[in-house]
Chains A and B, each alone.
Chain A
Amino acid sequence: MSPHLPALPVVVPLLSALLITILGWSNRRLPFPIALVALTAGLLSALGLMKDVLARGVIGYNMGGWDPPWGIAYRVDHLNALVLVVVMAAALIGLIATRDRVKAEFEDRIVPFYTLFVLFVTGLSGILLTGDAFNLYVLLEIASLTGYALIGLGEGRAPLAGLNYILMGTIGASFYLLGVGYLYLMTGTLNMVDLAARLPGLYDSHVVALAFFICLTGLFVKMAFFPVHVWLPNAYSNASSAAGILIAPLTTKVMIYVMIRITLTVFTPDYAFDVLDIGDAVVWLSVIAIVMGSVFALAQNRLKRILSYIVVAEVGYMVGGFWLGNRAGITGSILHIVNDAAMTLCVFLAAGALLTRVPGDRLIHLQGLFRKMPVSMAALVVGGLSIIGAPPTCGFFSKWYLISGGIDAGHYGFVAALLFSSLVNVALFFRVFEIAYYEPFGADHGHDPRAHGASGREDAPAAMLAPLVVVAVLLVALGLYSGDLVSAIIQHAIPARII
């Protein structure tokens, strides 16, 4: 394959985002096709990278032709190639599925919407590929800024949610930057591999420990780890449904990748798990995150808010699984990045599909929807089963790895939290299904009976249903092939010293 492949997943979307503005300003039909081509090319180059990595191992790419640590280098290994494929695929599916929603919700803002969204994906893929700690921050800024804007424009309380997101997100990003600054002060380099080579001599330095904690805290804010999750539920549930579908599956997952990358590649597992020995404490934090996320989800009466709090609990899964520090836990955590992206996309997409036909996402609005929108509801069921962790959906397998990781580590609190959260999810989703299946379709709940007939079948538009069905099938396929996924890719993403 071309030696320049690692640059393409960033360069092509960046150029396309600019073209959307330059060409789309005078022709409003162009933004969507350009975005489609950009993300398709991004997905193809991500798949190409994956293939190269499987064949040849780690790939490096020097931006500007300067060797690291003087220039900025990209470094592609199994971990970021996998997450890149997931991000590109989720973005592409979301883009196709939300086409009509975007047209309806942002009719006079098509150009900025697609420009910002493609820039958002550019930022995320850059975060994934980069091997430079400061470059990661710059791309994080791109992804965050565009994310704030996309979240902030919506009905009702969306601008307020966007403002809170900006405030917290900026604090999180600044913490990360401060941590990188401390590292530069102590080592004189920003390249991740070079940092990893120079840090072992400084393991007893307080500044390095502080840098690690500051970075980690910043990333916790960005990934919405309880108790610094407060921006997420409002941001994701109040955003326009198009923005929610596009952003919810991606941001938190990429931030968890960054945590794994910083811990494993920059600071090395020796430092994080042995020298600092904070694994146990972070797992307990994630136990709290899982329990509280689930409890808060139970207290909600709007579908999108329930889903948002489930995301908060899922972040706890991944953080906790990783900090167990054993092979099964980290495998579960990485597998869950993949699965959670697909699950979140599925349920938010299903919620978006429902919202095309019902006036709101309160649970009371869902009455009788199985009869009215069978396909959308079926997809929501698959997504719900996967979040619960029922076989053969993919959610079962990552939860299996996470639980066995917890047992290996002897951390029964984490195991209990996972089981508790599964039970809560059962209660949550079956309440939704019950309302949608058994309760009669009420004309007095904001529906206009003349619009669709008393029991008329009126599912979401096909343009939205087709991607939704694809994602739902993908959830099962990911589950069936998760063994291959783990043995072919994820096992190579974890350093050999972790057992």
Chain B
Amino acid sequence: MKLVALASALLCGTILLFGTAEFPDFGDPDSPAASHVSPRYIEEAMAETSAPNIVTAVLADYRGFDTLFETAVVFSAAMACFFLLRIFGEDERRPSEKLYRHLPTGITLRIDPGGKVPDSPEFERIDGIWIPHDVIVKTTTRLIIPFIQLFGLYVIAHGHHSPGGGFQGGVILGASVILYAISQNLRQALGRMGEAVSAVFCAAGVFIYAGAGALCLLMGANFLDYSGLAPLFGVDAIQARSLGILVVEIGVGLAVMSAMVWIYYNLASMGRHQEGL
């Protein structure tokens, strides 16, 4: 069986390699891909969409409909993870005792059911006996995270001019929350950005994108034809396209950030939202 698989894989690879012989040369300016559709993007994108970054213009405007559904794919993936992995309720494999850490000393307290729960900011609820507690790591990440998030916002907003945009910026923002969850613990991260927030923000991000498109419909333009939004923005049709791109990039950023965090919560804790990595 393995030999059959190997043989068919080799056969497939050979056929694919054989096909490459007729490919246009790499970087050939006369190849169909470089001479049919692309020239208009390169020559007209700035004039038609007022977005200096051609990639952004193609991604969010000329082929914005694809990107809408790419964002929906991210949302579906996060939703699928939640659907398949999430386990609600208490974990029956764990005792129902509660664990608290005394922050100044790092000592872990175990409170049996019915015991008195410490009521002081010096105590922090934790999920497992062994949750690493490292002051250096915690402090460093606390210092770094705001700058990561600032950079994420910059990447989203600057997608018009430089490499970047909603997907990249969203991942950076999502990474900052995941870094927080790793360096502190999952419970604290969930306290900052809960499950409902991640889920609803994720859907809302895609909704901003699709809703912007539907708003164009209501304004009488085609779906996702941002020039229809010109009266709302109070600018001309070309400028409206540029602003429309920004709106959908924000939606993408929101959806991608929340999806990353939400997927992390479910994967890292195997759906229980306790302890985590």
Which residues of A pack against B, CB within 8 Å?
4, 7, 11, 14-15, 18-19, 21-22, 25-26, 61-66, 69-72, 108-109, 112-113, 115-116, 119, 122, 126, 132, 134-135, 138-139, 141-142, 145-146, 148-149, 152-153, 159, 162, 178, 182, 184-190, 198, 205-207, 210
Contact = CB atoms under 8 A, between A and B. Distances in A.
Given A189-B37, A210-B16, A64 B80 contact: no
Nearest to A182: B19
Given A21-B203, A62-B222, A70-B62, A189 B217 contact: no
Contacts of B65: 63-64, 71-72, 135
| Majority-rule SS of A interface residues | helix
Contacts of B62: 64, 66, 70-71
Contact of B221 (A65, A69, A138): A65
| Majority-rule SS of B interface residues | helix
A72 B63 contact: yes
Interface string B65-81: 11011101101110110
Interface string B21-40: 11110000001111111101
Interface residues of B, number: 60
A101 to B, nearest CB: 16
A152 B79 CA distance: 13
15 contacts: A18-B204, A22-B207, A63-B65, A63-B223, A66-B62, A72-B66, A109-B86, A116-B76, A116-B80, A141-B69, A141-B73, A146-B80, A185-B31, A187-B32, A190-B37
A138 B16 contact: no
Given A146-B79, A210-B15, 13 more contacts: A11-B213, A11-B217, A19-B203, A25-B196, A63-B223, A63-B224, A71-B63, A138-B69, A138-B70, A142-B73, A145-B76, A153-B83, A190-B37
Contact of B79 (A61, A62, A135, A149): A149
B66 A145 contact: no
Contacts of B15: 210
The 5 A-B pairs at the shortest CB distance, nearest first, are namely A188-B36, A65-B225, A188-B32, A149-B80, A21-B203
Contacts of B214: 11, 15
Contacts of B31: 185, 188
Nearest to B202: A21
Contact of B77 (A61, A145, A198, A210): A145
A295 B49 CA distance: 59
B120 to A, nearest CB: 32
A152 B66 contact: no
A18 B207 contact: yes
B79 A153 contact: no
B35 A145 contact: no
A210 B194 CA distance: 49
A317 B160 CA distance: 51
B37 A206 contact: no
B210 interface: yes
B207 A15 contact: yes
A72 to B, nearest CB: 5
A372 to B, nearest CB: 34
Contact of B66 (A119, A134, A187, A188): A134
Nearest to A119: B76
B210 A113 contact: no
Contacts of B18: 206, 210
A139 B71 CA distance: 11
Contacts of A122: 72
B52 interface: no
B227 A65 contact: yes
Contacts of B225: 64-65
A108 B84 CA distance: 12
B169 interface: no
Interface in B191-236: 196, 199-200, 202-204, 206-207, 210-211, 213-214, 217, 221-228
Contacts of A14: 68, 72, 206, 210
B51 to A, nearest CB: 13
B249 interface: no
Residue with the highest number of chain B CB atoms closer than 10 Å, among A64, A153, A190, A206? A64
Nearest to B36: A188
B88 interface: yes
Nearest to B217: A4
Contacts of A25: 196, 199-200
A112 B83 CA distance: 6
Contacts of A188: 31-38
A18 B69 contact: no
A119 B32 CA distance: 35
B64 interface: yes
Given A109-B83, A149-B79, A185 B199 contact: no
A138 B72 CA distance: 10
A104 to B, nearest CB: 16
A413 B34 CA distance: 47
A134 B67 CA distance: 11
Nearest to B21: A206
Contacts of B61: 64, 66
B46 to A, nearest CB: 15
Nearest to A4: B217
Contacts of B213: 11
A149 B64 CA distance: 26
Given A22-B207, A65-B221, A142-B76, A70 B37 contact: yes
A109 B63 CA distance: 34
Contact of A11 (B24, B32, B210): B210
Contacts of B72: 14, 119, 122, 142
B123 interface: no
A206 B22 CA distance: 7
A113 B65 CA distance: 25
A171 B92 CA distance: 38
Contact of A15 (B41, B77, B210, B221): B210
A186 B83 contact: no
A182 B32 CA distance: 11
A348 B223 CA distance: 37
A47 B130 CA distance: 61
Contacts of A63: 64-65, 222-224
Contacts of B41: 70
Nearest to B88: A108
Contacts of A153: 83-84
B57 to A, nearest CB: 11
Contacts of A206: 18-19, 21-22
B110 to A, nearest CB: 30
A21 B80 contact: no
Nearest to B201: A22
